[in-house]
Amino acid sequence: MKEIVHHAVYDTLADWETGHATAHLRNGSYQREPGAYEIVTVGLTTDPVVTMGGLRITPDLALDQLSPAGSALLILPGATLWDAGGELAPFARKAREFLEAGVPVAAICGATAGLAREGLLNEREHTSGAVQYLEAQEGYTGAKRYLDQDAVLDGDLITAGPTEPVAFAREIFRRLDIYRPEVLDAWFRLFSRSDPSAYEVLMAA
């Protein structure tokens, strides 16, 4: 049976931030066990949402139906709504539930601010667009754990800034251990730097 990766969806979702991760989780290329993951979308409700790029998505399930049990990962993309009030706070609370259950959470861009307000970054190494962005969030006291890196994996938490969708995907793949180390390195070199030597490694895989 395929494992399930849950992907949060909401209005103003930043389309470009999670595509590398979801596409390569689902298509199985180069994986140790090809085709092992299914992507299931989760909204506040099952009403359609519209992304920043204008794509309409109908969530597969509502947030109140989501449980860490049976989930391999929760992905939280960025969205304008993360900075527009508390509408998406329930997703940050659900992230706490996942982390407390030992199920990984991956947050990028504005979703890191949501986790900061929930207090989930104060004792974990993390990154975002800039430390000043997180310091502006009420409840955040984790600047000492902030790392100026493209993406950060600390235990079950993955974080990245808005310009690092490929590095974000890399750390998701690392946490789920879907690629052998040399394949993960080659995948990142190909998709982040167009390194032709990486293609040979992937084809051999």
Terminal Cα distance for the chain, rounded = 23
Q: What's the confidence (pLDDT) of residue 19?
A: 96
Structure tokens at 141: 């006291």
Q: b vs e for 31-40, b when ≥16 Cβ sit within 10 Å of the residue's Cβ?
A: beeeebbebe
Please list, in sequence order, all residues whose beta carbon lies within 8 angstroms of the beta carbon of residue 89, skipping any fewer than 6 positions away.
114, 117, 118
Alpha-carbon distance of 193 to 64, in angstroms, equals 40
Report the distance separating Cα 151 and Cα 135, nearest Å. Answer: 18
Instruction: Tell me if 92 sits within 8 A of 115, measured CB to CB.
Output: yes
pLDDT of residue 114: 98
Q: What is the pLDDT of residue 2?
A: 85
Q: Is 109 a catalytic residue?
A: yes
Amino acid at 48: P
**Tens place of pLDDT per residue across the chain (205 aa):** 689 999 999 999 999 999 999 999 998 878 887 768 999 999 999 999 999 999 999 999 999 999 999 999 999 999 999 999 899 999 999 999 999 999 999 999 999 999 999 999 999 999 999 999 999 999 999 999 999 999 999 999 999 999 999 999 999 999 999 999 999 999 999 999 999 999 999 998 8
Residue of 109, 115, 134, 176 with catalytic role: 109
99: Cβ–Cβ under 8 A, 6 or more apart, which residues?
A: 105, 120, 156, 157
Query: Could you write out the three-class secondary structure of 20-86?
Result: HHHHHHHHCCCCCCCCCEEEEEEECCCCCEECCCCCEECCCEEHHHCCCCCEEEEEECCEHHHHCCC
Distance between CA 85 and CA 98 in Å, rounded? 23
Q: Which domains does the chain have, with CATH numbers?
A: 3-180 (3.40.50.880)
Q: How many whole angstroms separate alpha carbon 49 and alpha carbon 205?
A: 38
Output the DSSP codes for 110-169: HHHHHHHHTTTTTTS-B--S-HHHHHTSTT---GGGB--SSEEEETTEEEE-TT-HHHHH
